[in-house]
């Protein structure tokens, strides 16, 4: 995500650097800024530097990396063709131990070709209490129909995806309504337990969305100012010529 930032740099090192950020919380990188234009000072000994920041927002939830086979790319026809041409079918060993080993090696090699292992990232964000196996199955069906529509965008695939999405939304609403109706009915006469259930939903997340502390930010910008001062330490004073002006700021 490209973001733009304007800050003031005092040539005589008497002013602070002021940053104005937009968008979500930034994640600091070793090389944050790239100077684009540095116009000469006009009204004072300050210059406005136009730079580009390469920032990325922090994830609102964690994720884990797992290794699994790519079963979606598996082709029964191609795997059956390769199996018919393998030594296990063409010239099977007569020894039972060798036959078992050949069977295992052949199927493993075929899977490595037609459904190789790959690393995928899975979200670890917690689900709602009412989100059960029926909701997961409905969500998988919706995503499957969406992928079908993305591959074959027709009126029929779009209608199937939209109908399934509407059914999923109705199911989620019904599940949430049934869960909270049952939960509130079970907590009749126990205000503490009822507040505990409601507090699980209304309280803010405990995981910080911004991984850097205020000390990290202060250290980063202090180092940035020190680098600018070191790179401009040998620079001479700017030649600023006065000019008459009839414009008064603040009026």
Residues 55, 27 contacting (CB under 8 angstroms)? yes
Q: What percent of the chain has pLDDT over 90?
A: 27
DSSP output for 86-134: SHHHHS--SSHHHHHHHHHHHHHHHHHHHS-EEEEEEE-PPPPTT--HH
Judged against a pLDDT cut of 70, whether residue 63 lies above it is answered with yes
Q: What's the pTM value of the predicted model, to 2 decimals?
A: 0.42
Judged against a pLDDT cut of 50, whether residue 73 lies above it is answered with yes
Mean pLDDT on 194-221 = 73
pLDDT band of residue 100 (cuts 50, 70, 90) is very high
* Mean pLDDT comparison of 32-46, 151-165, 192-206, 224-238, highest-scoring range: 151-165
Residue 209 vs residue 112, higher pLDDT: 112
The C-alpha torsion from 141 through 147 and 148 to 153, rounded to 10°, is 130
pLDDT in tens, 21-34: 433 343 444 445 55
Kind of pairing between the strands at 46-54 and 33-37: antiparallel
The whole-angstrom separation of Cα 93 and Cα 71 is 30
DSSP output for 223-237: HHHHHHHHHTTTPPP
């Amino acid at each position: 995500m490209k973001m733009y930032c304007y800050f003031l740099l005092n040539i005589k090192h008497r002013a602070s650097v002021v940053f104005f950020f937009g968008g979500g919380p930034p994640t600091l990188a070793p090389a944050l800024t790239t100077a684009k234009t540095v116009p000469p000072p006009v009204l004072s000994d300050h210059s406005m530097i136009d730079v580009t920041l390469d920032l990325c927002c922090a994830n609102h939830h964690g994720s884990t990396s797992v290794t699994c086979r790519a079963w979606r790319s598996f082709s029964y026809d191609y795997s059956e063709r390769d199996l018919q041409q393998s030594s296990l079918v063409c010239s099977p060993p007569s020894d039972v131990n060798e036959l078992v080993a050949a069977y295992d090696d052949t199927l493993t090699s075929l899977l490595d070709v037609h459904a190789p292992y790959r690393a995928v990232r899975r979200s670890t964000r917690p689900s709602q209490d009412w989100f059960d196996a029926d909701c997961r199955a409905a969500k998988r069906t919706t995503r499957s129909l969406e992928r079908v529509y993305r591959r074959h965008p027709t009126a029929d695939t779009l209608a199937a995806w939209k109908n399934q999405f509407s059914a999923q939304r109705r199911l989620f609403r019904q599940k949430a309504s049934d869960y909270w109706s049952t939960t509130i009915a079970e907590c009749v006469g126990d205000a503490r337990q009822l507040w505990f259930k409601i507090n699980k939903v209304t309280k803010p997340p405990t995981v910080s969305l911004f991984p850097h502390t205020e000390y990290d930010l202060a250290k980063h910008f202090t180092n940035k100012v020190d680098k600018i001062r070191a790179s401009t330490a040998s620079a001479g004073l700017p030649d600023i010529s006065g000019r008459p002006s009839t414009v008064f700021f603040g009026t």
